[in-house]
Amino acid sequence: MEFATPPFVTEFDARPNELFVNYLQYPREIINTIMATHLPLLIFTLVSLAILAFFYRRWWRKSHVFQDALAVSYPIRLLFFLPVAVIIFMGIRSSFGYWPANLSDATFSSSHIVNELAKNTLHSVGYAIYAKKKFYVNAKLYGHMDKNEAISRTRRLLKLGSPDLIAPEYPLFRDGANSFLPVGKAEKSGSYY
C-alpha cells in the first residue's frame, strides 16, 4: 500500500483516500495508467516484494518463534495478556480522551500536503471505505427534478430576477455587494458569486 502512495500523492496531492477506492472499480484504466507513467516504480515494488518474500520464507523455516510462544504455560500467558491488551486498546484508540482519534487529529499545519504526510495510508484508505458506507446517500430518495425547474426554484429562493441574467450560461451568477470588504466599506463591486 505504501508503494502506491508516492505516485498518488504526486497526482492528487493527497494520500490514497476515497478517490483511490473509487478508482479501484476500473482496474483496466488503473493498469494502463500505471504501466504508462509509473513502470519503474511498479518494477521496483514487485522486485522488493519478491525479495521480502524470499527472506521471510528463509527466516520462517529456521525460526521457531511461534512454536516457542505456544510452549509458554497458560498462567504466564494470562499474566502478559492484561498489559498487552491495554497497550493494544490504547493503540487502537490513539487517545485517552472521550473520543478516539480520527484523521482530523493529524492536522497540525496550514499546508495540506504536510498534514497528509502525517497519516497512515492503510488507515486513510480504511477510513475512506468506512465513511463511504456510513455516509452513503441514496440519490433515489430525493426523486427527480428537471434541471430548469431546479434552477428556477433556486433563483426564486435567492431572489434573483429572471431578466437580470449576467451570463446566460451561468444562471445563478449575480451582481452584488462585495461582502469581503470591511464593515461600512461595502460597495457595488460588479463581482459574481
Predicted pLDDT at 48: 93
65, HSE (Cβ side, Cα atoms, 13 Å): 5
Candidate from 61-65, 122-126, 127-131, 139-143 with smallest mean pLDDT: 139-143
Predicted pLDDT at 163: 54
Residue 3 per-residue DSSP state: G
Predicted pLDDT at 182: 52
Q: What is the pLDDT of residues 173-189, one digit of tens each?
A: 766 655 555 555 444 44
The candidate with the shortest Cα–Cα distance to 20, out of 137, 128, 132, is 128
Q: What is the pLDDT of residues 3-56, one digit of tens each?
A: 778 888 888 888 888 888 888 888 898 888 888 888 888 899 899 999 999 999
**Alpha carbons 15 and 122: distance in angstroms, whole number:** 10
**Alpha carbons 40 and 3: distance in angstroms, whole number:** 12
3-state helix, strand, coil split of the chain in percent (to 5) is 60, 5, 35
Q: Which three cell numbers stand for residue 113?
A: 500536503
**Alpha carbons 16 and 101: distance in angstroms, whole number:** 19
Domain extents in the chain: 2-136, 140-192
* pTM exceeding 0.95: no
Predicted pLDDT at 103: 66
